[in-house]
Amino acid sequence: MAQTLFDKIWQSHAVAQTEGGATLIAIDRIFLHERTGAAALKRMADMGRKVRDPARVFAVMDHIVDTRIGRGDGTLMAGGEGFITETRAACKAAGITLFDVNDRDQGIVHVISPEQGIVLPACTLVAPDSHTCTQGAFGALAWGIGSSEAEHAMVTGTLRLDKPKTMRVRFDGTLSPGVTPKDMVLALIAQHGAGGGAGFALEFAGVAVSAMDMEGRMTLCNMATEFSAMTGMIAPDAKTFAYLAGRPYAPGDFDDPYWKNLHSDEGAVFDKQIVLDASTIAPMVSWGTSPEHSMPITAQVPAGPKRAHHYIGLAPGDRLAGTAIDAAFIGSCTNSRLSDLRRAAQILEGRRIAPSIRKALAVPGSMAVKRAAEAEGLDRIFEAAGFEWRMSGCSLCFYAGGEGFPEGSRVISSTNRNFEGRQGPGIRTHIASPETVAASAIAGSIADPREYAREEAAA
């Protein structure tokens, strides 16, 4: 019988079936971070339980760690240093590989795992972070879990799961200039709702997806969780294998025929299919307090929940383009990779952010990304434009009680969530692509990045 990629991975990792119909799934890789990692390892130690296979478990300092240049264990978040020092001690005691605060390979978990070749096609990978689905871009089955599930996976090497349904999301056609994978996934969520993927494992496919580089594919899969899907994945191809080959934890090559069979078979049946025309997608920006509250930048704000309109301060019929902003953020596991920084820098080069912008941050997704960007001079472009150039970490993707934006700020952000208070109490967040963030920072208001590309072309 023809199988989907998801079914192939599920079947190869199924250990046993429970009486209630759930499946015990073997877990190949587990990632921890300092926000919950120490607590999970401490509970295990208190109960006399050990990590079954420490070689399969990795940890990173990314969620609470300070991103200011010259950082150490200290954080602006009260009590944050304790999370860091306790995680370090717990990882050492358990024999777990840790990417520490100032390790040259430190970074956001979903950025460094591919960089290191820890995620591989057809592997199962879990982490106590909802954006673990990012790594499905490599043809892996990757999903977010809770801390207690992380403990279970570390002790037993398995997790109990109810099998989700399958959905294929196909993007036909070719993206227009200035339109990005971030815009694609926001268009999907806006059209089908933030709950549209609930109960499904997604496979992204189609001409527009095949044309993407690996970093674009990671952005697409990253926001499968904002669609409420269990995970998102893309079948591995030559681009995938070329990206991974020779990385520290990956094979030197992917010549074995096994790797070439990791795709959905012709005739495989999905429980649901969605088809979008990529050529019709425009740069997208969120207007409200959910990713489903997103719209083309040239459109008018639609009628939506009163609370969302009240919080964001926009009424039905208002135009997003031209709405004044106070701050800009480029970073997060969604859009902090080298290609993201390059595209934003192309817009910023030779320009300055508006005087009204009170804070603008550029936070590379990993120290490796930071070094590569600096080798190309991107840091100098960001700083000359008025952005702060930071060290890697999750930073202000979410507010942890430390650093924040000025009170009451309206922020244009390359992150993935625009919930009430996500970037700080009372902060109004508009999520968009790095290009849109850069263009908006220059304009001092939400701006169409295509206009800046046209200016460059005319010059």
pLDDT at 457: 63
Cα 73 to Cα 280: distance, rounded to the nearest angstrom? 47
Residue 80 carries which DSSP code?
A: H
Local structure of 146: helix, strand or coil: coil
Token digits of residue 310: 């009240």
Residue 161 — φ and ψ, nearest 5°? -135, 145
**Alpha-carbon Rg of the chain, whole angstroms?**
21
pLDDT at 369: 98
Cα 158 to Cα 118: distance, rounded to the nearest angstrom? 18
Q: In terms of residues, how long is the chain?
A: 459
Residue 435 — φ and ψ, nearest 5°? -65, -45
pLDDT at 400: 84
433's torsion region: left (phi>0), alpha (psi -120 to 50) or beta? beta
pLDDT at 454: 65
CB 431 within 8 A of CB 285: yes
Residue 445 carries which DSSP code?
A: B
Cα 154 to Cα 276: distance, rounded to the nearest angstrom? 39
Q: Helices (DSSP H) in 297-425: which residue ranges?
A: 306-312, 338-348, 367-375, 378-385
pLDDT at 453: 79
Closest listed residue to residue 358, CA positions, set 386, 385, 377, 382: 386
Low-confidence stretches of the chain (pLDDT beneath 50): none
For strands 284-286 and 294-296, give the pairing: antiparallel
Cα 395 to Cα 18: distance, rounded to the nearest angstrom? 41
> Tokens 């409200």 label which residue?
288
> Tokens 């079947």 label which residue?
11
Cα 87 to Cα 102: distance, rounded to the nearest angstrom? 14
Residue 378 carries which DSSP code?
A: H
The string of DSSP letters for 256-298 reads SHHHHT-SPPTTPPPSEEEEEEGGG---EEE-SSSTTSEEETT
pLDDT at 264: 98
pTM over cut 0.85: yes
Q: Helices (DSSP H) in 349-448: which residue ranges?
A: 367-375, 378-385, 434-443
pLDDT at 366: 98
Closest listed residue to residue 59, CA positions, set 9, 24, 95: 95
Closest listed residue to residue 111, CA positions, set 241, 233, 214: 214
pLDDT at 126: 98
pLDDT at 456: 65
CA distances from 141 to 9, 255, 289, 308, 439 (A): 7, 21, 29, 34, 35
Token digits of residue 379: 């840091």
